[in-house]
C-alpha cells in the first residue's frame, strides 16, 4: 500500500497499474481523479492470446506492455506513473515496463 499511496499522490498523470498471477499478467491505465480505466491489456485478451502460445512469461509480459502502450496512446495518454503494486521491479514486471517505454509511454 505504501507504493500505491505514493503513486496516487502524483495525481496529474494516470496510473499504470500492474498485477501478475502465477500464469497471467494484467495491466490497466487508471485515471484516479475520475476513477475510470482508460486502457487495459492482459495475457488473457482474445486479441493477444493467439500469438502467445509457447512463449516464456517474460516475453508474454513484454507483448502485453506493448499492447497497453498502444491502447493508451489511442486513448490520448502519453505519460503515466508506474504502479508496480507489491511486486518487485524485475522479471515480468520489468519486461512489461520496458516494452511499454519502447512503445512510446513515458514514465
So where are the chain's domains? 2-102
Mean of the pLDDT values across residues 86-94? Answer: 95
- 59, pLDDT greater than 90: yes
Task: Please provide the CATH number assigned to the domain covering 2-102.
Answer: 3.30.420.100
Q: What is the pLDDT of residue 41?
A: 97
In this predicted structure, the answer to whether residue 74 has a pLDDT above a threshold of 90 is yes
Residue 2's pLDDT band (boundaries 50, 70, 90)? Answer: low
What pLDDT is attached to residue 102? 97
Mean pLDDT along residues 32-55: 92
Q: Print the SS3 string covering the chain.
A: CHHHHHHHCCCCCCEEEEEECCCCEEEEEEECCCCEEEEEEECCCHHHHHHHCCCCHHHHHHHHHHHHHHHHHHCCCCECEEECCCCCCCCHHHHHHHHHHHCCCEC
pLDDT at 7 over 70: no
Amino acid at each position: 500500500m505504501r507504493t500505491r499511496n505514493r503513486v496516487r499522490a502524483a495525481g496529474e498523470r494516470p496510473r499504470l497499474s500492474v498485477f501478475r498471477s502465477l500464469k497471467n499478467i494484467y495491466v490497466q491505465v487508471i485515471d484516479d481523479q475520475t476513477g475510470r480505466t482508460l486502457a487495459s491489456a492482459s495475457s488473457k485478451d482474445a486479441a493477444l492470446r493467439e500469438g502467445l502460445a509457447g512463449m516464456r512469461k517474460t516475453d508474454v509480459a513484454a507483448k502485453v506492455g506493448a499492447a497497453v502502450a498502444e491502447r493508451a496512446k489511442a486513448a490520448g495518454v502519453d505519460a503515466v506513473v508506474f504502479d508496480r503494486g507489491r511486486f518487485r521491479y524485475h522479471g515480468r514486471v520489468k519486461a512489461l515496463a520496458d516494452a511499454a517505454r519502447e512503445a512510446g509511454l513515458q514514465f
